[in-house]
Amino acid sequence: MSAWDDRVVAEFRANGGGVRGFGSGLVLLHSTGARSGERRVSPVAAVQEGGSWLVCASAAGAKRSPGWYFNLLAHPDAAVETPHGSVDVHAVELEGAERDAAFARFVDRSPAFRQYEHDAAPRIIPVLRLEPRG
């Protein structure tokens, strides 16, 4: 994890999920490294939808998706840590109109996502649904 991720994870855990600059819009994604097989923890913006979470691999508009996205493609079974506990999940990448509608939820939450989409072009920012397992 980067020093920034370490700080965000510590603040998330110390403040019941609240992180300066993000409010309560983050979860901690526990995934398995695509190549290393090592467990990873990544703070990610999430929109709760029913019992699932939508996560957006924006990487703040970078030309390449974040590592956790590739981890989920290789190993879709993961876990989401919330202020209320952890939930085992299975990641499903959204496509077409379903992806577009989900991405619009992130733009509604924060207009910065519209800029991320512009900056990332021609990359289409992936959106995944993390569905509870079991």
pLDDT at 66: 96
pLDDT of residue 111: 92
pLDDT digits (tens, 9 = 90+) for 87-125: 999 999 999 999 999 999 999 999 999 999 999 999 999
Please, what is the average pLDDT of the chain? 95
Under the banding of pLDDT at 50, 70 and 90, the label for residue 8 is: very high
Confidence of residue 63 (pLDDT cuts 50, 70, 90): very high
- pLDDT bracket for residue 1 (50, 70, 90): low
Q: Show Cβ contacts of residue 25 under 8 Å, excluding neighbours closer than 6 positions.
A: 45, 46, 47, 109, 110
Residue type, 87: V
Measure the CA–CA gap between 61 and 55, rounded to whole angstroms: 14
Domains of the chain: 3-132 (2.30.110.10)
